[in-house]
Structure 1
Amino acid sequence: MSYPELTEFARTMRQKILDISYHSGTSTHIGGALSMTDVMAVLYGKVLNFDAQDPRWPERDRFILSKGHGVLGFYPALLGAGIISQEVFDTFQQNGSDLIAHPVMNLDLGIESSNGSLGHGISMAVGIAFAAKKQAKPFHTYTLVGDGETNEGSVWEAAMLASHLKLDNLTAIIDYNKQQNDGFGKDVLRIDNMAERFRAFGWHVIEVDGHDIDAIVEAFEEAPLNKPKAIVANTIKGKGVSFMEGDNAWHHNRLTKTNYEAAVAALNNSNNERSDNGNNV
Structure 2
Amino acid sequence: MNEFHKKIAQAKQRLLKLHHDANSGHLGGNISCLEALMVLHHNIMKPEDRFILSKGHAAGALYTTLWSLGKLSDADLQTFTRDDTTLPGHPSGSSIPGVMFPTGSLGHGPSLAAGLAMATRYTHKPRHVYCLCSDGEWQEGSCWEALTFAIHHKLDNLTIIIDQNGLQGYGRTKDIISCEDLGPRISSFGAYLQRVDGHAPVAIKQALDERCAGQVSVVILETTKGRGTYFEDTLASHYLPLDDDQFQAAYKALEQGGSL
8 A Cα contact 1:207 1:233, kept in partner: yes
Matched, 1:29 2:31: no
> Could you tell me which residue of structure 1 aligns to residue 238 of structure 2?
251
Give, in angstroms, the shift of residue 12 of structure 1: 1.5
Q: Is residue 17 from structure 1 mapped to residue 15 from structure 2 by the alignment?
A: yes
2:42 to 37, 42, 45: 45
In the alignment, structure 2 segments of 5+ residues that lack a partner are: none
Summarize deviations over 1:112-164 as a string: whole Å, max 9, x none: 22001100011100100000011111111000000011111101010110100
Query: What is the identity percentage for the equivalent residue pairs of Structure 1 and Structure 2?
Result: 36
Q: Are the structure 2 counterparts of residues 193 and 255 from structure 1 closer, same or farther at C-alpha, using a change threshold of 3 Å? A: closer
Deviation at 1:196, TM superposition (A): 1.1
In the TM superposition, 1:47-66 aligns within 5 A as 47-50=44-47, 60-66=48-54
Correspondence for 2:79: 91
Distance (whole Å) between structure 2 residues aligned to residue 225 and residue 141 of structure 1:
15
CA RMSD of aligned residues (A): 1.6
Pairing partner for 1:7 from 5, 8, 11: 5
Question: Displacement of 1:7 after TM fit?
Answer: 1.4
1:204-261: per-residue Cα shift (whole Å, max 9, x none)? 00111111111111101112110110000100111233x2321221111122222222
Query: CA separation in 1, counterparts of 2:84 and 2:96?
Result: 16
Q: TM-score, normalised by structure 2?
A: 0.95
Check whether the contact 1:30–1:252 (CA below 8 A) recurs between aligned residues: yes
Provide the C-alpha distance between the structure 1 equivalents of 2:160 and 2:7, rounded to a whole number of angstroms: 21
* TM-aligned CA deviation for residue 79 of structure 1: 0.8
Question: Aligned equivalents of 2:101 and 2:4: distance in 1?
Answer: 25
Q: Kindly state the Cα deviation for residue 263 of structure 1 after the two structures are TM-superposed.
A: 2.7
Partner AA of 1:19 in structure 2: K
* Correspondence for 1:170: 158
Match of 1:73 in 2: 61
1:264 aligns with 2:239: no
Q: Across the two proteins, how many residue pairs are aligned to each other?
A: 260
How many Å apart are 1:268 and its aligned residue?
Answer: 4.2
Q: What TM-score, normalized by structure 1, do the two folds share?
A: 0.88
Mapped partners of 2:201, 2:89: distance in 1: 27
Q: Does structure 2 retain, via aligned residues, the 8 Å contact 1:6–1:41? A: no
**CA distance in 2: counterparts of 1:30 and 1:39, whole angstroms:** 15
> In 1, Cα distance between the equivalents of 2:52 and 2:228?
24
SS of equivalent residue, structure 2 residue 133: strand
* In structure 2, C-alpha distance between the alignment counterparts of 1:182 and 1:265, rounded to whole Å: 31
Q: 1:200: how far off?
A: 1.3
* Runs of 5+ unmatched residues, structure 1: 51-59, 275-280
Instruction: After superposition, give the CA deviation of every residue in 1:30-87 in whole Å (9 maximum; x if it has no partner).
Output: 000000011011011101112xxxxxxxxx2100000011111111011111222222
Structure 1 residues 148-190: Cα deviation after superposition (integer angstroms, max 9, x where no partner) = 1111110101011010010000001000101111111100012
